[in-house]
Structure 1
């Protein structure tokens, strides 16, 4: 069972991909979409939300794309999930149950579960994800390392 939305999984994958491949040039949405076998139209809203919240930086121009706005060790998976949860909440939300049971029992239980889940994700940085990706061989032809931001 997956507790993260597709948008959250996409956002974490995109930020990790950009952290790995944005050297020496930004990662284009086209290249990112190709590596993840997705249409660009699914990526752009997610990437723009991450730019708006200063996780990514958009670079304009013919060689533009996206790069990290902060050091990868300063971005947690929970930061990314919180941003996507906020962006999803801005979309047309589903109606919530309005009952005492939902308000007094189910709501607090779900809030505690979400808090524990996000606390666990707070312990995982983009740096950790990059290290795991490289150790697992999940990267393709990485450019030479350049750790300047």
Structure 2
């Protein structure tokens, strides 16, 4: 059973994808969407939320796209999910329906469980997920060697 929203799963996948493919040039949203069989517009709100939260950096121009805003070992899956939740407003909604039972008993229990869940996701860095993706060759093999000769 997966407890994350589809948008949160997509956000984690997008950040790992960018971490794996953003060198030497940023990853275009169009290519990112293509690799995940999605329409490009479907990713835009998630990518923008990730930029606003300082996880991704948007690069403008003809060779623009997205790259990590900080080191992949310093970004956790929990950070990415929290950013994705801000894109949909999931994190600030009051519990529904409004009742004393929900407000005093069920709501706090669910909030505590959610915080524990996000805490568990904080144990996984983007670096960890990138290493797993490379070991399992999810994109078809090892990344091409970079040549820095000019």
TM-score above 0.5, yes or no: yes
Distance in 1 (CA, whole Å) between partners of 2:50 and 2:144 is 23
Query: Which deviates more, 16-25 or 102-111?
Result: 102-111
Deviation at 1:128, TM superposition (A): 0.3
Which residue of the partner structure matches residue 115 of structure 1? Answer: 115
- The structure whose RCO (Cα within 8 Å, separation 6+) is larger is 1
Residue 105 of structure 1 deviates from its aligned partner by: 1.2
Q: Are the aligned partners of 1:19 and 1:67 in contact in 2 as well (CA < 8 Å)?
A: yes
Residue segments in structure 1 that go unaligned for 5+ positions in a row: none
Assess if the C-alpha contact under 8 Å between 1:23 and 1:144 holds in 2.
no
Structure 1 stretches of 4+ moved >6 Å: none
Is the Cα contact below 8 Å between 2:57 and 2:69 reproduced in 1? yes
Whether 1:144 and 2:149 are equivalent positions in the alignment is no
State how many pairs are aligned.
Answer: 145
Aligned twin of 1:67 = 67
1:33-44 alignment runs, 5 A limit: 33-44=33-44
* Counterpart mapping for 1:86-101 below 5 A: 86-89=86-89, 96-101=96-101
- What is the match of residue 83 of structure 1? 83
- The question of 1:16 aligning with 2:16 is answered yes
Structure 2 unpaired stretches of 5+? none
Identify if the C-alpha distance between structure 1 residues 94 and 106 changes in structure 2 by more than 3 Å, giving closer, same or farther: closer
Contact 2:95 2:103 in 1 (8 A): no
1:117 deviation in Å? 0.4
How far 1:145 sits from its partner (Å)? 5.2
Scaled by the length of structure 1, what TM-score is found?
Answer: 0.90
Would you say the 8 A contact 1:78–1:118 is kept in 2?
yes
